[in-house]
Amino acid sequence: MTGPGDPPEDSAWESGQLEPTRPPGPGGPPAVPPNPQWIQLPPDAAGAGRDAGSQRARVDVSTATLLLSALPWYFWSFAIVSWIVGLLGFGWGWIVVVAWMLSGAVVFVRPVEDMLARYLFRLRQPTLVEEQRLQMAWRQVIDRAGVPQGRYTLWIQDSEEVNATPTPGHVVGVSRWALYTLPPAHLEAALAHELGHHLGGRDWLSLLSFWYSIPARCALIGVRALGRLMLAVPAVGCVVVTFVLLAYSGVLFAVLLLDDSLLLPLLFLTPFVAPPILAWLSRRDIIRADRRAAELGYGATLIQVLYGWQFQHQQMLGRDGNRRRQLMSSYPSLTDRAHSLEHFLQSR
């Protein structure tokens, strides 16, 4: 994938006065709409980032949140792997289950992170020109955070969202919209938010959690595909729903009768209870990343970024007003994020 041409040394991008634009063409990405006039907000309070180092070193509540959200994923991944082994009728199937449990060691190999970023998160490595533009802002962010230069690698998500999908481990994603639309100071704020997902000493823990959730996530993709088929063919949908409900109810009833503890039955109820809880935890994690960026001194600038995205995408606002969709959404609204940041800055 080719990137835009290398800007001249005396360009407005280098001076921070103008954001880059992509040339339209059949072989390249679509042109980005012109950047709106950014509303100037008061700067962050003095010394906003002075205690960021000690707060970053402390294992905070996000680690406990990560462990809590990983529990249902791990249980269902274990159940799916065991079920597949049982279907195969392999006499030594427990070896396969144990091998899967020990397979988490592969995440400590950095090329495995690159593979996950490329094929599961649909990220791509930046071109040379994109790398130059990113590094100008990235160096400022990691210097404020006290993070070593080579700890994280920057990847691009080809999306027009304000932020990229949060990634585990040492891969930091940035959206194409942020890279090509934001001026350098605002790009720093967007990168500070992305880095905020990784602060708190949980890089390897988040990567292990994601690795062991892969079987359950694959099953979820299959369930969603089946759901689309059921909507397209109602007769098939009725048969499938009836079969699944009867089979699942039978398994749950057997577990309630044969198991003395309540832990296993509760875990079997997680498909009905866990989704809204996991969605809420995901929204809180994004709010927490915003606050970490504010602790580094990017709070007011990040608010400008959020309002700027809303200004450009007003036609997309208000489409997801359904309460059920809001309850199950993994992303808070930009208005909620801006309000949370404003309250956080006022309380400092």
Quick: pLDDT tens for 14-40: 444 444 444 444 444 444 444 444 444
Which residues, in sequence order, are bridge partners of residue 175? Answer: 157
- Burial track 76-103 (b if 16+ CB lie within 10 A, e otherwise): bbbebbeebbeeeeeeebeeeeeebeee
Q: Does some domain include residue 327? A: yes
Residues 6 or more apart whose Cβ sits within 8 Å of residue 47: none
- At 255, the amino acid letter reads V
Distance CA 20, CA 137 (A): 14
| pLDDT for residue 60 | 60
Q: Does some domain include residue 22? A: no
Please give the mean pLDDT across all residues of the chain.
79
Q: Does some domain include residue 280? A: yes
Number of domains in the chain: 1
| pLDDT for residue 124 | 96
> Which of the residues in the chain have pLDDT under 50?
1-50, 52-54, 56-58, 315, 317-319
| pLDDT for residue 346 | 93
Q: Does some domain include residue 1? A: no
Q: Does some domain include residue 266? A: no
Q: Which domain holds residue 285?
A: 54-214+271-347
Q: Does some domain include residue 209? A: yes
Q: Does some domain include residue 41? A: no
Q: Does some domain include residue 152? A: yes
Mind listing the pLDDT tens digit for each residue in 193-229? 999 999 877 788 899 999 999 999 998 888 888 888 8
| pLDDT for residue 106 | 92
Element containing residue 118 per DSSP (H, E): helix 110-119
Which residues, in sequence order, are bridge partners of residue 112? Answer: none
Mind listing the pLDDT tens digit for each residue in 122-134? 999 999 999 999 9
